[in-house]
Amino acid sequence: MKVVILAGGSGENLAPFTATRPKGMMAFCGKYILETTLELLKEIGLNEVYIIVCHQKQRIMEYFQNGHNFGTHLHYLHQEGPRGIGDALYTAKDKIMPGEYFLLIYGDILTFANIFSHTLQTFRTSKGPVAAIYLPPSSLPYGNVYLNNEMQITKFVEKPKEGLAGNYVLAGVYVLPSAIFSLLEESNKSMELALNRLITEIGMQASIWEGDWIDIGYPWEILSANKLIMDTWPQAAMDKSVIFRGDVRLEGPVRIEEGVVIESGTVLKGPCYIGSGSFIGNNVLVREYTSIGRNTQIGFGVELKNCVIFGRCKVGRLSFVGDSVVGEGAYLGSGTVTVNFNLDDTPIKVSLNQHFHETGLKKLGAFIGDHARIGASHTLPAGTVIKSGEIILPNYSLV
């Protein structure tokens, strides 16, 4: 069976990180979302894959190339501009033969057990269209589905209104027939209209997914995804090349890749991750759910807590980075502090694209874009967003 992966979305609500990458090229614990998807497909023998690209497409194409190094055959289809999911899928029209079924995957979902295998098992039983569905804590932000007593989908609502949301949501994995393309044509390439017509005219079986699943829509959900990954780790794992220079204390499932150097006095509290080629200075405290990307330098006396650092970063001495996400190649000067709570204990709001978003979280730090440079001695308020490439001069005290 052929596979189509939608990976062209701009992910505007994931600013500042999607300014410089597609959503599928966010790395968690050393692995991109798309990389995890391809590994799961390889497990079940699906290696004929079409990736639909648009926004920052070179990041995907340069890393994965023809897929040979990932045990798959990759083909790239180019969507001309961000014109929606239906338009993106329609670019694959000529690759699917009449009467043929294919596996459709949204390229920004993250899961670890094999949701694709589970969906295909439902397809083999139903012999017709299938959609994987999931029960999240809140269904309002997602496309909602409604079911009958035989677990067949009766309706799909892409953006439900407050108070009208159902329980289950579409999990971004489908087995669809080639007929979906004619339905897209007749529906002005609206995915919602085309799916509802498919449901009405042919039928669609639900495949309930009860494993871990997350669709990363906002920057703070990067932290949720990182936690989801680390909670699957049963034990510590460390490359033989790791160098400890003196007394280093490890607690819990700590994972360290090759070529890492850690200086004396450092404490690592798992689950946490340190990527290849990184350097951790003296007396650093790395607390639970911290992911340090490859080739990163952490200075003396730094404390890191529940944060994701994408890689090739530098964090200066005596800094605190908590409940935050730091983009690739960013520089944080000495004494940088990310405040991660409001003094009045209210949930933190984050400004994205000139709109404030309620996070519902009382612990949340900063979101620092790729290659941003923050000078020494800065304190960043909770919910701060710093654009990619932004430069903030050191906070000097002049005498």
Look at the domain 2-217 and name its fold: Spore Coat Polysaccharide Biosynthesis Protein SpsA; Chain A (3.90.550)
Over 90: is that where the pLDDT of 341 sits?
yes
The confidence band for 82, taking pLDDT boundaries of 50, 70 and 90, is confident
CA distance 150 to 222: 35
- pLDDT tens, position by position, 274-322: 999 999 999 999 999 999 999 999 999 999 999 999 999 999 999 999 9
**Structural contact between residues 139 and 156, judged by C-beta atoms closer than 8 angstroms:** no
Of all helices (H) and strands (E), which one includes residue 154? Answer: strand 153-157
**pLDDT (0 to 100) of residue 123:** 97
- CB atoms < 10 A from the CB of 233, how many? 17
Q: What percent of the chain has pLDDT over 70?
A: 96
The confidence band for 81, taking pLDDT boundaries of 50, 70 and 90, is confident
- pLDDT tens, position by position, 273-285: 999 999 999 999 9
CA distance 157 to 119: 21
CA distance 319 to 368: 15
Over 80: is that where the pLDDT of 173 sits?
yes
Per DSSP, the three-state class of 29 is coil
Query: Global pTM?
Result: 0.91
CA distance 199 to 24: 28
229-392 belongs to CATH 2.160.10.10: yes
Over 60: is that where the pLDDT of 140 sits?
no
Q: Where does CATH 3.90.550.10 sit in the chain? A: 2-217
- pLDDT tens, position by position, 351-374: 998 889 999 999 999 999 999 999
Omega cis (within 30) before 129: no
Over 60: is that where the pLDDT of 165 sits?
no
Q: Where does CATH 2.160.10.10 sit in the chain? A: 229-392
- The CA-based angle 26-298-277, given to 5 degrees, is 65
